[in-house]
Amino acid sequence: MPAKPEIKKVPRATFLGRAIAGNIGALTLGVKYFFDPNRITLLYPHEYIKLKQGYRGYIVLIFDKCISCASCARICPAKAMKMVSVNVKDKKLNKVMKKKYPVINYNRCIFCGLCVDVCPTEALYHVPYHDLVYLNMNDMILNLEQFQEQPEFVTSKEGVPVTYVFDEKRGLVKVRADESVKQEGQIGQTSGGENK
């Protein structure tokens, strides 16, 4: 069924309806939310979002799976990946040979995930972490060893993991990440900085 145009009209209101009903409607709604606020703010360092698997976060290399095809570096739109040649010992042939492996520059990475999607052996994968801290821009260029490690997740040290779940009445509701698995449906707001 194709779309069809439909003429709509801006709702008209009489002068009194506008002056009285309009004002009262707006004010009552304001008062309603004043007494029953629907907050979605994430109190960031104290809480952090525990991202789902599938989030396009930091990228980690599985060294053993890499076949040095350079597809990832070639498809990278931001030129954030480069292939470096290193001497590795090939287990099958049992000899040392020069192979190319990707390194990544997080100054440039735009987290489009094309490299992960194009990798023919699934040697790259996304970690659902997003907020990492580096001391300087030079540190954001990872070498081959750093590229293989899962990044240390600094926010989890002092923050409470939360997730947002969908709700019909409140849109997104913040729940503790560990609770969200346990009690489905039963939704309680996490205690923020201030309690009502």
Partner 1 sequence: MDMVTAAKVFSDIGWGLFHYIIFYPPVYQFIIIPGLVAALAVVVFMIWFERKAAARVQMRYGPLEISPRTGGAPQLIADLIRYTVQELIIPSAADFFAFIVAPNAMLILSLLPMVAVPMTSISEYWPIPMGYSLLVAVALSTLAPIFTVVMAWASNNKFSVLGGVRESFIVVAYELIAVISLLSVVPLLHTFNLVDIVNYQMSGIWLGLLNPIALLDLFIAILMSTSGFPFEIPDSETELVAGPFTEYSGLIYGINMGGGYIRRWAFSVLMTLVFLGGWAPYRPGPGILLGYFVPSLIVVVKATIVMAIMSFLRAVYGRYRLDQALSLAWEVLIPLAFAAFGISVAEAFFGVHP
Partner 2 sequence: MSEGSASGVPHLPGMEVRPVERNVYEVQIGPSHPGSGHMRIIVELDGDVMVRVDPDIGFVHRTMEKLAEGRDWIKNIPLFERMAILDACNITLPYVEAVEKLLDIEPPERAKYLRALLCEINRIASHLYGIGIFAVFLGHSTIYMWAFGDREVFVQLAEDLTGARLTHSYPVFGGVRRDIPDDFPQNARKAVRYMRYRLDEYAKIYLNNPNIRKRLEDVGVISKTKAAELGIVGPNARASGIKYDVRLVEPYEAYPELDFEIPVFEEGDSLARAWQRVEEIKQSLNIIEQAVDWLEKHPREGFMHDKFWKTAPKLYKDVYEGNIPYAGKYRVKLMPLFATLKVPPGKAAARVEAGRGEIFYYVESDGKDVPYRVRVVTPSFRNVIAFKYVMPGHRLMDLPTIYGSFDYFPPEWDR
Partner 3 sequence: MGGGVREVPATAEELQKSLLEALKDYKPQVEPVKGYIDIVVPVEHLVEAAVKLKELGFDHVISVGAVDYIAKKQFKVMYHVTSYLNEDLSKFMVSLSTYISRDNPHCPSLTRVWLSAELQERETYEMFGITFDGHPDLRLLLLTPVVAALKPLRKDFVVKEESDNIETDYEAFESSKWW
Q: Under the rule (CB under 8 A), what is the footprint of partner 1?
A: 26-27, 29-30, 33-34, 37-41, 43, 192-194
Instruction: Write down the least CB distance from residue 189 to partner 2, Å.
Output: 15
> x/- contact string, 97-126, with partner 3 (CB under 8 A)?
---x--x-x---------------------
Number of residues that bind partner 2 (CB under 8 A): 54
Instruction: Write down the least CB distance from residue 144 to partner 2, Å.
Output: 19
CA gap 12, 190 in Å, rounded: 42
- Cα–Cα distance list, 112 to 36, 61, 76 (Å): 39, 16, 9
Residue 193 binds: one of partner 1, partner 2, partner 3, none (C-beta under 5 to 8 A by kind):
partner 1
> x/- contact string, 13-52, with partner 3 (CB under 8 A)?
----------------------------------------
DSSP string, 173-185: EEEEHHHHHHSSS
Element (H, E) at 167: strand 160-167
Collapse the DSSP code of 156 into the 3-class scheme (helix H, G, I; strand E, B; otherwise coil) and give the result.
helix
CA gap 152, 110 in Å, rounded: 20
**Which of 61, 57, 38 is CA-nearest to residue 49?**
57
- Select from 67, 86, 97, 110 the one that contacts partner 3 (CB under 8 A): 86
Query: Which CB sits closer to partner 3, 85 or 156?
Result: 85
Pairing of strands 81-90, 47-49: unpaired
73: phi then psi, degrees, rounded to nearest 5 = -70, -30
Collapse the DSSP code of 166 into the 3-class scheme (helix H, G, I; strand E, B; otherwise coil) and give the result.
strand
Residue 154 binds: one of partner 3, partner 2, partner 1, none (C-beta under 5 to 8 A by kind):
none
Residues lying near partner 2 in the complex (CB under 8 A): 1-11, 13, 18-19, 22-23, 25-26, 29-30, 40, 52-56, 69, 71, 74-78, 110-114, 117-122, 125-126, 164, 166-172
